[in-house]
């Protein structure tokens, strides 16, 4: 570190002068630390090299600790030394980093120095240093380190701050590999520690709010490389590892760049929060994106660009870590093992279950071998991956994957063969992405690597989501998927060319981040891929269509009324054939599951299953062969009538009741629903609202519970009902709001618990729901005020402008109200309350939540039950709801 920097941070003469001003040294130390911290933060903002800053802070703390230590008398007793350990031992400190020290005694004579040690540690805390300290003798260090991975690692990184250096040398001698933790045992233990740590962070670099230290690809992975290198080679200095041949010059430079970027983020996080904060939370992401010079542009927010830089950095760290740990494995764990070599062809062989090139010029002499190697891996399940040296060769020669390479018929044939692979396709594609091959072969895929979407709906980056989607598609054919995906598990075996499905999956989101409709942009890319790879017209048409329409089935199922034959007919026309329907269903199910683990539930599964089944039947019968409405109603009534007569009900009673039910009721309900609702009404004594929650059939619990409400229809009924559900902690998935001819509600709600689980066979819970709803709906005008619940932290970072639209175009007899807004606890109840104030009737609702965003659709009418066509009335409704929603989302929002 340059002398002027040192003098600026810690001027000894000035510090000594400050010590004379006060009776205690505490003010002088605090002033020194405060001024130095402010200077370093300013240097950081001015763009000083982060390595200098990190080392400068460690040097500053060295001076403070050294002076504090030397002012005490350590001569009366056994030799004693002050050591820095852990990250501080490496000479690396960020503003909020723990300052880990070891007070090392030659003998176990703590009492001889007890007063001085306590005085020293108290002073450090008094001046505001966050110190982690331990006091041990040489013998205690050896005893504790022999079986403790953390302690041996800390001691390996130790250095002397003050005291006899010979004491430290003895410590290193008694803890070296000749006495404990030989390289092989140490590496195996670190491998296991890494597995546990990565599992804690879901084994992915692509967390929405990553921990820059502990997440895969973070600083801990860099530390691990240093620890293993130090244990085996006696050094963690990258320059020395370069000389040893452990690192190449390119890898060395990449490691330094990655470390610098992660260090800059960590320094900024610690400075902004005033603590040791290593979580890159949403709020910090926005602030850092601005601080690091990113700006919003068409297709990508500044925060998305910043996070893409982060994700690409940690991917490079993961690549290098895998390479170097594989090198360690070859050099340490596998040292001395006999090599079992099995030839594959003139370019590749398998050595101890790892594939390798037969010589180091294979890729240079025959570039298609780059893809060939991955194809060979998918053919042989015994191959665990490439050797470290082969990975390094891939990295060295990946520049050969250029426009000429991509058009080479040998390469295009190999890639299509890969997509037809019998084994490990997903793992191989991930490996190709990690080694930088997939993004070079498909440049459009390279653009989405590390691309995040700043919302709570998409929990992964676009590339990670895409590869996970392909994993789900592959998984549908496995036995273990039958229970969770029964329909998909059958359909997957009935499509003629699964590779076309995988290719559509690879391209379905590839157009994101460019601005415009990503489905259309992706379809253009997919068509170009098909042309280059020589796919026929039919296969090309299917892939392009799947990419264009990959959202259609999900949107139709979740936002439209599947009981309406016209909806099914319109969807069937868009699909065209039963074969396309199968492909689209599989792609949709995989897409939903790969987007967000909390998104897939029984209700969404049942909607897609219903849409698939009805569309399949219509396509089989003929798109134009819709049954007449009267015929459909008569068939449904006949089936329900038979069910009721089997239970002993007189046909006359049933038909008399049904005289009060309009056609809409019979069109929007299945015969079994009509049966149990009719049974409940016929058995019900007038006076109280009837609340029916039928027992869910075995195997269907996950699809949500139906709640039927039968009572005199009143203006506040919907508002009171949704408020009651909110108070009960139930999330409404669907609502069919129908009023009988004699002005009784025939409302059916589908609900789940707020965490997405089903109510299930829980008599106590069901009774609680029934009683609460009966009490609330007995006087809906007096329903209790909405419960104000705490908004989850992540939701508070989002505050989108609400969009409220009214349309009479889709169905002339209906007024459709669409709401897009930021989700908040109790939002639907708030909307219901607004409907009551506006004197609106609700005849139907589709409720959909996508991360932090809700997209709800309602069929509404005025107080007389008529459609709302007056422009002024429509504007009043939209303005009122927009204002209410805007206030709700901004009330506890965290603004950047």
Pure H helices in 783-870 = 827-837
A 10 A CB-CB count for 588 gives 25
Cα distances from 754 to residues 600, 704, 728, 771, 849, in angstroms, run 14, 11, 9, 19, 12
Q: Provide the pLDDT for residue 581.
A: 98
pLDDT at 449: 93
Q: What is the pLDDT at residue 734?
A: 84
Whole-number pLDDT of residue 440: 97
**CA 85 – CA 103 distance, rounded (Å):** 10
pLDDT less than 70: residues of the chain: 1-4, 333-337, 696-703, 783-789, 809-813, 892-896
Q: 3-181 — its CATH code?
A: 3.30.460.10
Calpha distance 435→317 (Å, rounded): 11
In angstroms, the CA 430 to CA 471 distance is 10
pLDDT in tens, 481-513: 998 999 999 999 999 999 999 999 999 999 998
* Positive or negative torsion for Cα 887, 888, 893, 896: negative
Distance from the Cα of residue 85 to its chain's centroid: 35
- Bridge partners of residue 736, in order along the sequence: 748, 844
H or E, element range at 226: helix 219-233
**Calpha distance 144→420 (Å, rounded):** 54
Residues contacting 493, CB < 8 A, separation 6+: 477
705 to 138, 195, 760, 845: CA distances (angstroms): 66, 40, 8, 16
Q: How far apart are the first and last CA of the chain?
A: 36
User: How many of the other CB atoms lie within 10 Å of CB of 769?
Assistant: 22
Rounded (5°) CA angle 567-569-573: 120
**pTM here?**
0.86
Dihedrals φ, ψ of 854, to 5°? -110, 140
The rounded Cα 562 to chain-centroid distance in angstroms is: 31
Q: Which residues pair with 850 in a beta bridge?
A: 853
- Are 265 and 96 contacting, i.e. CB atoms less than 8 angstroms apart? no
Structure tokens at 847: 């409720």
Closest CA to 291 of 313, 309, 316: 309
Radius of gyration of the CA atoms of the chain, in A = 34
Predicted local distance difference test score (pLDDT) of residue 786: 57
CA atoms within 13 A on the CB side of 817: 30
| Residues 6 or more apart in contact with residue 717 via CB below 8 angstroms | 709, 711, 745, 747, 777, 780
23 by DSSP, 3-state: which? coil
Among 488, 497, 528, 523, smallest CA distance to 509 is for 523
For the chain, what are the domain ranges?
Answer: 3-181, 193-333, 338-415, 442-621, 629-890
d(CA 717, CA 181): 72
- Cβ–Cβ under 8 Å, residues 394 and 435: yes
- For residue range 237-276, list pLDDT tens digits in order: 777 778 877 788 888 899 999 999 999 999 999 999 999 9
Q: Which pairing describes strands 131-137 and 99-105: parallel, antiparallel, or unpaired?
A: parallel
CATH 1.20.120.330 is right for the domain spanning 193-333: yes
Is the sign of the CA dihedral 245, 249, 254, 257 positive or negative? positive
Rounded CA gap, 298 and 513, in Å? Answer: 8
- Residue 121: the pLDDT is 95
SS3 of residue 593 by DSSP: helix
In this prediction, residue 1 carries a pLDDT of 64
Nearest to 852 by CA among 817, 827, 877: 827
Strands 730-736 and 747-753: antiparallel
């Amino acid at each position: 570190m340059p002398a002027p920097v040192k003098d600026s941070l810690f001027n000894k003469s000035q510090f000594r002068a400050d010590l004379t001003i006060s009776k205690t040294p505490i003010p002088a130390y605090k002033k020194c630390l405060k001024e130095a911290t402010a200077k370093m933060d300013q240097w950081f903002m001015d763009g000083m090299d982060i390595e200098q800053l990190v080392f400068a802070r460690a040097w500053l703390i060295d001076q403070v600790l050294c002076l504090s230590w030397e002012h005490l008398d350590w001569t009366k007793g056994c030799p004693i030394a002050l050591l820095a350990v852990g990250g501080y031992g490496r000479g690396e400190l960020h503003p909020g980093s723990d300052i880990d020290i070891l007070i090392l005694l030659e003998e176990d004579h703590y009492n001889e120095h007890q007063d001085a040690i306590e005085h020293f540690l108290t002073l450090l805390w008094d001046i505001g240093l966050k110190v982690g300290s331990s006091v041990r003798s040489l013998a205690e260090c050896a005893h504790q380190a022999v079986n403790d991975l953390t302690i041996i690692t800390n001691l390996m990184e130790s250095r002397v701050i003050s005291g006899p250096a010979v004491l430290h040398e003895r410590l290193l001698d008694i803890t070296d590999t000749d006495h404990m933790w030989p390289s092989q045992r140490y590496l195996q233990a670190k491998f296991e520690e890494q597995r546990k740590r990565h599992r804690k962070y879901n084994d992915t670099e692509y967390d929405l709010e990553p921990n820059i230290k502990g997440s895969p690809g973070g600083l801990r992975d860099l530390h691990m490389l240093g620890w293993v290198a130090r244990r085996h080679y006696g050094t963690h200095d990258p320059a020395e590892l370069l000389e040893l041949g452990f690192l190449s010059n390119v890898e060395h430079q990449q490691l330094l760049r990655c470390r610098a970027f992660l260090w800059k983020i960590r320094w900024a996080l610690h400075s902004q929060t005033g603590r040791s904060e290593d979580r890159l939370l949403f709020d910090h992401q926005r602030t850092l994106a601005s601080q690091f010079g990113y700006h919003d542009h068409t297709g990508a927010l500044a925060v998305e660009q910043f996070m893409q830089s982060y994700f690409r950095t940690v991917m490079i760290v993961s690549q290098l870590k895998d390479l170097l740990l594989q090198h360690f494995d070859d050099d340490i764990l596998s040292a001395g093992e006999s090599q079992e070599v099995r030839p594959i062809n003139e370019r590749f062989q398998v050595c101890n279950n790892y594939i390798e090139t037969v010589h180091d010029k294979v890729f240079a002499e025959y570039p298609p071998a780059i893809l060939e190697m991955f194809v060979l891996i998918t053919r042989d399940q015994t191959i665990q991956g490439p050797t470290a040296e082969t990975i390094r060769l891939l990295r060295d020669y990946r520049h050969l994957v250029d426009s000429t390479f991509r058009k080479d018929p040998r390469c295009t044939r190999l890639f299509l063969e890969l997509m037809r692979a019998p084994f490990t396709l997903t793992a191989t594609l991930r490996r190709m992405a990690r080694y930088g091959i997939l993004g070079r072969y498909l440049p459009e895929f390279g653009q989405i690597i590390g691309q995040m979407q700043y919302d709570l709906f998409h929990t992964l980056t676009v590339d990670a989501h895409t590869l996970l989607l392909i994993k789900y598609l592959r998984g549908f054919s496995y036995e273990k998927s039958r229970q969770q995906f029964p329909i998909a598990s059958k359909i997957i075996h009935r499509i003629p060319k699964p590779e076309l499905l995988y290719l559509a999956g690879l391209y379905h989101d590839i157009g994101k981040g460019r601005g415009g409709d990503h489905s259309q942009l992706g379809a253009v890319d997919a068509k170009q891929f098909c042309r280059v790879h020589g796919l026929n017209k039919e296969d090309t048409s299917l892939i392009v269509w799947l990419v264009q329409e990959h959202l259609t089935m999900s949107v139709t199922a979740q936002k439209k009324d599947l009981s309406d034959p016209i909806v099914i007919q319109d969807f069937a026309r868009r699909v065209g054939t039963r074969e396309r329907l199968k492909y689209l269903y599989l792609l949709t199910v995989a897409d939903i599951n790969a987007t967000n683990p909390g998104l897939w539930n029984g209700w969404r599964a049942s909607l897609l299953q219903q849409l698939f089944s009805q569309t399949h039947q219509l396509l089989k019968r003929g798109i134009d062969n819709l049954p007449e409405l009267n015929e459909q109603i008569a068939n449904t009534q006949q089936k329900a009538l038979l069910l009721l007569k089997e239970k002993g009900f007189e046909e006359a009673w049933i038909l008399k009741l049904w005289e009060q039910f309009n056609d809409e009721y019979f069109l929007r309900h299945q015969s079994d629903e009509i049966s149990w609702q009719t049974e409940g009404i016929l058995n019900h004594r007038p006076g109280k609202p009837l609340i029916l929650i039928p027992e869910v059939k075995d195997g269907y619990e996950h699809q949500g519970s139906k709640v039927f409400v039968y009572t005199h229809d009143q203006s506040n009924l919907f508002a009171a009902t949704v408020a009651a559900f909110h108070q009960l902690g139930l999330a409404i998935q669907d609502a069919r709001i129908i009023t009988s001819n004699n002005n009784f509600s025939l409302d059916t709600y589908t609900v789940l618990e707020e965490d997405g689980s089903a109510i299930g066979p829980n008599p106590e819970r069901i009774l609680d729901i029934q009683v609460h709803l009966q009490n609330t709906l007995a006087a809906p005008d007096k329903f209790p005020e909405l419960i104000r619940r705490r908004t989850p932290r992540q939701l508070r970072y989002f505050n989108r402008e609400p969009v409220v639209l009214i349309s009479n175009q889709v169905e002339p007899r209906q007024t459709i109200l669409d709401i897009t807004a930021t989700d908040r606890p109790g939002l639907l109840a708030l909307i219901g309350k607004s409907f009551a104030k506006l004197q609106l009737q609700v005849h139907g609702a589709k409720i959909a939540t996508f991360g932090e965003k809700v997209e709800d659709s309602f069929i509404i009418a005025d107080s007389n039950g008529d459609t709302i066509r007056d422009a002024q009335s429509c504007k009043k409704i939209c303005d009122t709801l927009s204002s209410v929603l805007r206030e709700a989302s901004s009330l506890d929002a965290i603004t950047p």
